[in-house]
Amino acid sequence: MEEIIPDFSFGDFAGYLELPTMDYILEIRDETGVDVVAAYQAPLETLELHGEALVVLASGFLAPENNSDGPAFGLFVALAEGGDLIALPLFDPNVIHTPEDAEILLYPNPARNELNIVSGEVMREIRVLDMLGQVVYVASPEDSQHQINVNNLKDGVYFVQVLTEKGFTTRKIQITK
């Protein structure tokens, strides 16, 4: 594990860093630098953010109940083209992530009315997440094929997470009406 920003405190600005386009796990550690208090996924490669500029910011309280129930702590990303901040999802070390070459087929992409998902193995769970990381669809098909009606989803980019015996695989799709 490589440390990107050492000794970073509240109110600090780390400046601009040039990093390779990969999927990262960003760990937030306590003041000792030993204990991880939270970890977040920063999937730059999965999101195909090659050569893109972005800003990561932290906001909120680690213990909201101790701070007048203020907003919970999170890491957020601002993209160069603007728009809403994107909340980075928490990293779950108990979930096994499979390589992106797993046998998962999504079509059509872009999807207009329905999205077909075909896997080389039985799919235990399917999640569709919007760009904010919010789950907008969940199913437990227990089959190698599944179809999702996307008529109730807004136009935009979504991420489909498929859980099989080998772990989670994430794919990007576009919804266009």
Torsion of CA 152, 76, 20, 82, to 10 degrees: 70
Mean pLDDT comparison of 16-25, 154-163, 167-176, highest-scoring range: 154-163
Of 116 and 97, the one with more pLDDT: 116
> What CATH class does 104-175 carry?
mainly beta
- pLDDT tier at 155, thresholds 50, 70, 90: very high
pTM of the model: 0.53
- Per-residue pLDDT, averaged over 70-97, amounts to 77
- Per-residue pLDDT, averaged over 133-143, amounts to 89
Expressed in percent and rounded to 5, the helix, strand and coil fractions of the chain are 0, 45, 50
pLDDT, mean over the chain:
82
Q: Is the pLDDT of residue 49 over 80?
A: no
**Domain boundaries defined on the chain:** 1-94, 104-175
